[in-house]
Amino acid sequence: MAARASAKGVVKVLDSSKAGFEADFNKLCDRRGGADDSVDKTVKKIVERVRDHGDSEVLAFTKKFDGASFDTYEVERDEWDEACERVDPADRAALGKAAMRVRDFHRKRISSSWEMREEGGGYMGQKVRPLARVGVYVPGGKAAYPSTVIMNAVPASVVEVPEIIMASPPGADGTLRDEVLMAARIAGVHRIFKMGGAQGVAALAFGTETVPRVDKVVGPGNVYVQAAKRMVFGQVDIDSEAGPTEVAVIADRTATPAWVAADLLSQAEHEEMACAVLFTHVKSIATRVREQIEKQLKGYERAAIAKKALARGGAVVITKDLNQSLELADRYAPEHLMLAVDGPDAVLKRVHNAGTVFLGHYTPVAVGDYLAGPNHVLPTGGTARFFSPLGVEDFLKRMAFVRFEPPKLRELGADVMRLAELEGLPGHGASIELRLQKIRRARREREAAREAEMEI
């Protein structure tokens, strides 16, 4: 009983059979949060200053926020080469394997151009082309995220984006981590700039004397980075606003409590805003998972972070059956969904809202974070209801084309004119009628010429 009582202090329990459950569950699902006016005001000033003054402001903000001071902030080829040489061969091999698997996954289905021809001279279709230049933002400073480099840059490389630019905040010594530079080389990045935060996003979006302007910015980051991405959207495209990481686990009686607890903690350890939720209709599993969380937190290196995350965005949701677990998980629409159940393939058919689904007891989220193949840049905050994982599609643009020969315009022109009249746009109809007049005139002239020939 002591262990259970202690576990109650770590993660809350929501019971679907109890009064007030709906209100509590809706609160759990509402994890997007509102915009912070103070953050937006700060970011707006940074973005505007970088837009108006370029390199000098990027360098000034880098010194202010990262403590790094230098005259040139692009990573030179020699610096890049030397960093890669310092990476342990085993680490280099692991990064290479991850990049290879991610590349193979994203190569499976790439949209292609197509065309169609219709009788009467209709010709139309779609051209699919890569974006000309993209910016990949990689969080840095005290931490290193080589997996983020791979997940964001490899899909762009797969569709042969001509120029992939990476931005990442340097450490106080003015350098980027060797492993991050190694991952960039493996992933196909062309140029790297030591700049982070809102100033890095702004430099990518508007361009500076040194940084080329990109067409799209992708990648995760803190609230300042996300606010900056939101502000420059329209000037450039962005992937989405990346929120804190999250995991939901659906467990039945075949689940191993220690494994489920470890999976919840593996996401809770990321940051205090992370979310980790268990859905189960087996009360004994709920109890034992909570006990395991408490047990594993003892001596846990990132226990302080994980405890705060679990207290804020963690929950054990007790349901009446597996069907309700699936229904509630769909409403939660998690970034990562683990099916710790018997027969996960059959259960998968009933899942509608999730970034990536991990099937069965031997597929922890960690394999997806690093090298399974599917992208780990996923919709968060419930946006899995309408957003998808980052993929090759995010680095392609579609351009339609159409050509009508005179017979096709004669066939369909009257319908176009009727629709234009229906919408009260006479100019649209006139643009058709003028051409039809010429087509009719040319037709009359051909008929007159034939009659003249027959008379001779």
How many other β-carbons are positioned within 10 Å of the β-carbon of residue 173?
Answer: 7
- Cα 53 to Cα 43, 63, 196, 210, 355: the distances in Å are 15, 16, 17, 12, 39
Q: In what order do the strands lie in the sheet with 122-130?
A: 114-118, 122-130, 396-404
CA distance 132 to 396: 9
Q: What are the DSSP calls for 185-240, one per residue?
A: HHHT--EEEE--HHHHHHHHHH--SSSPPPSEEE----HHHHHHHHHHBTTBEE--
CA distance 175 to 168: 10
Of 179, 269, 294, 335, the catalytic one is 335
Of 106, 281, 336, 376, the catalytic one is 336
Q: Where are the alpha helices (DSSP H) in 233-282?
A: 257-268
Give 307's contacts (C-beta < 8 A, 6+ positions apart). Answer: 10, 297
Amino acid identity, residue 35?
A
Of 368, 367, 332, the closest CA to residue 352 belongs to 332
Contact 399, 414 (CB under 8 A): no
Contact 409, 428 (CB under 8 A): no
Residue 160 bears catalytic tag: no
Residue 352 bears catalytic tag: no
CA distance 100 to 430: 56
* Residues with active-site annotation: 335-336
